[in-house]
Every structure is written in C-alpha cells, then in structure tokens.
Copies of this chain bind each other. A is one copy, B any other.
Amino acid sequence: MNAVSPVSVTFADVQAAAGRIKGLAVETPLVESPALNERLGGRVLLKLETQQRVGAFKFRGAYNRLVQLDADQRKAGVVAFSSGNHAQGVALAAKLLGMPAIIVMPADAPALKVANTKGYGAEVRLYDRLTESREAIAAEIAATRGAVVVPAYDDPHIVAGQGTAGLEMLAQAKAVGAEFDAIVSPVGGGGLLSGISLVTKELSPKTELWGAEPSVYNDLAQSLASGERVTVKPTVRTLCDALESPSTGDITFPILKRNLAGAVGLTDPEVAEAMRYAFLTLKLVMEPGGSVGLAALLTGKVDARGKTVGVVVSGANVDPELFARILKGEV
C-alpha cells in the first residue's frame, strides 16, 4: 500500500484564494513610521490586518473556505471552535454567504470577541476550557446538524486564504521601493505564517521568515529545534489569547519547518510594552497576540538594524478594560 500523501497547499492556491476574496476582504494598508525606523535602525513596514474585516486576518481564510462549499453544505452550515478571531471570521463569512454558523468558544474568551461573533449572526456555544472538549462539542454539532467543521488553521483552504496577506505585503512593499530582508509574523497554529511563507518563497526567496509566539507557548521554537512537531501543555494563560495553540498543525508544520528561519518567544510584559508603544507612538490599536511581531523587533529578538523588515500585525480585538489596564501600566 502506498503512503497517503500529505495534504499540500501551493502558491497557486494562494493566488486562487486572492481571486475569491477580492472586493470582499479589505486590502489592508502597509504602513511605515519614521519614529519606529529610527528607534530600530532599519526600515520597518507594518501590515495592518487590524484593518481587516472582523479586526483580524482570519476573515481571509474563513471566506476562502466557506465560499467553496456546495449548495447542500451551505444549507447545513458550518461549525468552528475558536477563542475569538477565527470565530468572527467564520461568522461574518457565513453571514455574507447566507449560511448558518455555530461557534464553540471558551467561556473566558474576550467579551468583545464573543459579542462580535454573535453580532455577525452566529450561534455561540460557550464551553469550559478545563472540563469540556471543544473538539467533542464541535464533532457532536457536526454529526447532529450535518454541519461542516471549519478548522482554525489546519486546512489547505484556510492556509491559502491567510496567505493572501502575504501577496498584498509583497506587492505593497514593491510599490514603495522596499524588498523584505525579513518578515516577522505572530504564530499560533501557523495558518497565517505558513500561507505567507508559500508566497514569500515563490516571489521573494531571499526573505527570512520568523515566527513570534508567547514564550510559554513556544511549541514552534521547540518543534523547529527538534525537527518534530512538539505539543505544549496548555496549563497557563498569557495575554495572547489568540496564540495559545498547543501546537501547529499537520498541514502547517511541514510548511513552517521548510520555510522558516526561526521562531522567537515573547513574555507578557514584552507584549504589553509593545502594545503601549503601538498606542503612544504608532497610534495603532493591537491586541496582545497581534503585537508579538512588533514586540520581537522592539526587544531585539529579531534584529532590524540595517534591514528592511515586514511585520504582520494580525489583529486588534482586545477588550477595552484590558487595554485600559495595559495603558496604565497595570499589566
């Protein structure tokens, strides 16, 4: 018997996704701050996925996945589990495509993310992180209603959709005369960064790719070091609710392993400091998980001196109460 060939995603899949989301997803801006450049001694271009629909890149992949469902599947709808940004992406894509969506979210997800998900018309099923299995709940809903489960990252259409952010980044950089020596992106399950890497390796193969993750969820750094996918135990919480995936995926890890220069870990204080810098100097709202790429540069964990570096700011769905505490230096 032949070995089952792994699911693959290609640059062409990202190009096809770009065609599907055109005019529906926002072509988010790539911005540059002279103050940040001066501080880091390099040229830094920030890709503001905070300006994407739902306030995070997740709409790209979700729409690319849902638009490819057939008429019967659309009728039965979709089910997804997510701490919040994928939830919102799936909820809005389902709304635009006129299909029902049920989202399984942890009861302690940011209130803003839960409220927005409901606001897009999705049904939300809250679960207890400690006593319930979100996979089991989603599987039961899928079985009962015939709904399609939409994974947050380990799906070729999701990866291809997220990769469209990379297509835009490279074109926008070219338009301002920049070529990336490196790109740094937040990484949880790896859908976004693996998608971007497919684009970068095709169009700008000399660009180094770095993942930024919470230091206590540094499964990617461990996995790259050992060459095998490592799963960390999700025993602690961090500020970065969006990046608390215990591991990358069956599809995303092989791509990341092939394409990344490395991964760096950020602590909560480093993340909070990056969020304050974004507010005070860049005048941008970032959620904790969205700011780890910037934090990687500000801490010097990824060196920008003398280089042109692209930073993906992946989302900005942060509760105002937490943001206020971070501004006041209480976090």
Contacts and interface: CB of A to CB of B under 8 A. Distances in A.
A33 interface: yes
A29 B26 contact: no
Contacts of A197: none
Which of A276, A320, A321 has the largest number of chain B CB atoms within 10 A? A320
Contacts of A164: none
A130 interface: no
A245 B134 CA distance: 57
A283 B50 contact: yes
A284 interface: yes
Contacts of A51: 31, 33, 282-283
A320 B50 contact: no
Interface in A1-57: 26, 29, 31-35, 50-51, 53, 55
A76 B287 CA distance: 46
A32 to B, nearest CB: 7
Contacts of A323: 279, 324, 327
A321 B328 contact: yes
A26 B35 contact: no
A147 interface: no
A69 interface: no
B29 A31 contact: yes
A124 B321 CA distance: 34
B55 A34 contact: no
A32 B53 CA distance: 10
A204 B325 CA distance: 45
Contacts of A29: 29, 31
A53 B34 contact: yes
A36 to B, nearest CB: 11
Contacts of A284: 283-285
A112 interface: yes
Contact of A283 (B34, B280, B281, B285): B285
A285 B50 CA distance: 12
A327 B279 CA distance: 13
Q: Looking at A26, A282, A283, A325, which has the most chain B CB atoms within 10 Å of its CB?
A: A283
B320 A279 contact: yes
A316 interface: yes
Interface in A305-331: 316, 320-321, 323-325, 327-328
18 contacts: A26-B33, A29-B31, A31-B51, A33-B51, A34-B53, A50-B283, A51-B282, A51-B283, A55-B281, A279-B323, A283-B285, A320-B327, A320-B328, A321-B327, A321-B328, A323-B327, A324-B325, A324-B328
A325 B321 CA distance: 10
Given A279-B323, A283-B285, A320-B327, 8 more contacts: A112-B280, A279-B285, A280-B320, A285-B285, A321-B327, A323-B327, A324-B325, A324-B328
Interface in A268-291: 276, 279-285
